[in-house]
Structure 1
Amino acid sequence: MKKIYIIHENQEWTTHLTNRLTELDLPFEEWHLDEGLVPLTETPPEGVFYNRMSASSHTRDHRYAPELTGAVLSWLEHHGRKVLNGSRALQLELSKVNQYTALEKQGIQTPKTIAAVGKANIIEAAKRLGSNSFITKHNRAGKGLGVQLFHSTASLEEYLYGPSFEEPVDGITLIQDYIESPQSYITRCEFVGGKFLYAVQVDTSEGFELCPADACQIGDLFCPVGEEVEEKPKFRIIQNFEDPIVEKYESFLQENNIQVAGIEFIRNANGRIFTYDVNTNTNYNADAERAAGKFGMLELAKLLGEELNK
């Protein structure tokens, strides 16, 4: 019997999708790839495979889950299985360097960035960047890993050689021009089936990156989960959002064979858009969706059902 296979390493982020699949009476099976084997001498089962492996898996003690997933996707694609968010999507999920080069190739502007390995080279990168304010972040990131704001190389050096420095899992630290939004928010565009679903405005007054999942800890920041009522919600879906960037994003996703993604951008004081993150295991905020009457996981479940019926 053909079914939908969900490839992941975090049950908490997958429950919302499996609930929707159950609601639509669609057959599915989860492949939790924190460890396992890849039977290259065997043929994969029939069905539709959806990859939502996360770049931050190592923070949940699943250090080699992305590498295992890469092997599984290669096996599936070799046998011609239908894979949503396949090998190319995983490659971009695991490297912001790969994201930025792919975005720039499609004419999508990213913040000025230098990648560095080694503390002395991180300091040199900051000097080369020549910005008054800059941030550090991990190349293989997610959850705001390694994101720090600096206004001088002296403060960066103090951080690098102090107790709070976070070593990136792949060794690559990014030094990036700090783009400040006058309104202190970023915009995240969600895509399902490679097509625009909605845009959500995310309040960043309390930090640089906020995961839209219903339960997601980033340092001391906690995403709203519905029990708390806020006067100003951190996540708000923008009704009737229109911007030429959407068409560019759809072309980018098509070019890189990505079916499901959340793409984040920020506008500077002049209104110019800088795109800085492509998330291929996108999560959705329940409060924002409930208020807008739009549901990402439901649309994703419908897409998987359509692919299965094909």
Structure 2
Amino acid sequence: MKKIYVIHENSEWTVHLTRRLEELGLPYEEWHLDKGMINLLEEPPEGVFYSRMSASSHTRDHRFAAELTAQVLAWLEFHGRTVINGSKALQLEVSKVLQYLELTKVGVKTPKTIAAAGSDQIIEAAKVFEGQSFITKHNRAGKGLGVQLFQSIETLKAYVQSEAFEEPVDGITLIQEYIYSPESFITRCEFVGGKFVYAVKVDTSEGFELCPADACSIGDLFCPVGEEVEEKPKFEIIPDFYDPILENYAQVLAANDIQVAGIEFIRNEAGEIFTYDINTNTNYNSDAEAKAGKYGMLELAKFLGEELKKI
């Protein structure tokens, strides 16, 4: 029987989708690729294959989940299967350098960034931003990995040469200009089926490591999920959001065969938009969605069901 295959490595992030698939009566099967094998002598089953592989999978002791998934996706695509968020999507998911290059192709402004490998090179790269604030982050990131704000090269040097320094899993650290947002929030634009669904305003006043999922295992101090006691919610869906940049985002997604993504941007003091992240393993916040009456996982489940009908 044809079915929807959900490729992932984190059940806590996937249960919200499978519940929606069950509500719609859609047949599905989970492929949890923290480990596994591919028999190249066999053809994959018929169906729709949706990849939710995350760039941060290694932080959950799934060190080679992304690498295994890349091979599985290549196998599926070789046999002509319908793959949602396939090989190109995964390539962007695990590399912010590739994200910025693809965004730049269609005229989307990204923060000034230098990629460096090695502590000496990180310090050398930061000299470009001397006299201004800058941040570091991991090239293969997710959940704010390696994000640190610095006011001076001396402070960066002390950090890089200390035990507190977080070594990126791919060895590449990004040194990036700090975009100051006077209202301390970023905007995340959600796309399903390559089409814009909604934009959510995310409060960043308490830190950089923000995840919209209702259940996540990142274990950091700033995870805002489920903090219902706050008067000011971390996540708010913006009613009737529109900006011309949405058309550019849709171009980027189409050019890279990405059907499902959350794209994040920040506005500086002059109101200019700087886009800094394409997340192809997108999650949604149920509190914000309930207040707005919009449901990302439901739209995603419906989209997967329509794709299944086409086979």
* TM-score, normalisation: structure 2: 0.98
Question: Equivalent residue for 2:118?
Answer: 118
Query: Which moves more between the two structures, 205-214 or 263-272?
Result: 205-214
Query: Which moves more between the two structures, 201-210 or 147-156?
Result: 201-210
Asked whether the equivalents of residues 209 and 222 of structure 2 are also in contact (C-alpha less than 8 Å), the reply is no
1:222 is aligned to 2:223: yes
Question: Equivalent residue for 1:164?
Answer: 164
1:249 is aligned to 2:249: yes
Q: What code does the residue aligned with 2:40 have?
A: L
Q: Which runs of 5+ in 2 are unaligned?
A: none
Structure 1 residues 31-73: Cα deviation after superposition (integer angstroms, max 9, x where no partner): 0000111111111100000001000000000000000000000
Structure 1 residues 178-230: Cα deviation after superposition (integer angstroms, max 9, x where no partner): 0010100000000000000000000000012411011234621122326x232
Task: Give the 3-state SS of the residue equivalent to 2:35 in structure 1.
Answer: coil
Task: Give the 3-state SS of the residue equivalent to 1:42 in structure 2.
Answer: coil
Structure 1 residues 81-140: Cα deviation after superposition (integer angstroms, max 9, x where no partner): 000000000000000001101110111110000000000100000002345100000000
| Structure 1 residue 304, shift from structure 2 partner | 0.3
What is the rounded CA distance, in whole Å, between the counterparts of 2:137 and 2:57 in structure 1?
16
What is the rounded CA distance, in whole Å, between the counterparts of 2:213 and 2:276 in structure 1?
19
Q: What code does the residue aligned with 1:41 have?
A: L
* TM-score, normalisation: structure 1: 0.98
Task: Give the 3-state SS of the residue equivalent to 1:43 in structure 2.
Answer: coil
Question: Equivalent residue for 2:263?
Answer: 263
Q: 1:1-310 counterparts in 2 under 5 A?
A: 1-130=1-130, 132-216=132-216, 217=218, 219-225=220-226, 228-310=228-310
Task: Give the 3-state SS of the residue equivalent to 2:44 in structure 1.
Answer: coil
Query: Which moves more between the two structures, 203-212 or 190-199?
Result: 203-212
Asked whether the equivalents of residues 5 and 50 of structure 1 are also in contact (C-alpha less than 8 Å), the reply is yes
Task: Give the 3-state SS of the residue equivalent to 2:17 in structure 1.
Answer: helix
Q: What percentage of residue pairs aligned between the two structures are identical?
A: 71
Asked whether the equivalents of residues 130 and 153 of structure 2 are also in contact (C-alpha less than 8 Å), the reply is no
What is the rounded CA distance, in whole Å, between the counterparts of 2:286 and 2:253 in structure 1?
25
CA RMSD of aligned residues (A): 0.9
What is the rounded CA distance, in whole Å, between the counterparts of 1:124 and 1:293 in structure 2?
49
Task: Give the 3-state SS of the residue equivalent to 1:222 in structure 2.
Answer: coil
Query: Which moves more between the two structures, 130-139 or 28-37?
Result: 130-139
Query: Which moves more between the two structures, 123-132 or 206-215?
Result: 123-132
What is the rounded CA distance, in whole Å, between the counterparts of 2:220 and 2:160 in structure 1?
18
Task: Give the 3-state SS of the residue equivalent to 1:102 in structure 2.
Answer: helix
The list of structure 1 runs, each at least 4 consecutive aligned residues, that deviate by more than 4 angstroms after superposition, is none
| Structure 1 residue 231, shift from structure 2 partner | 0.7
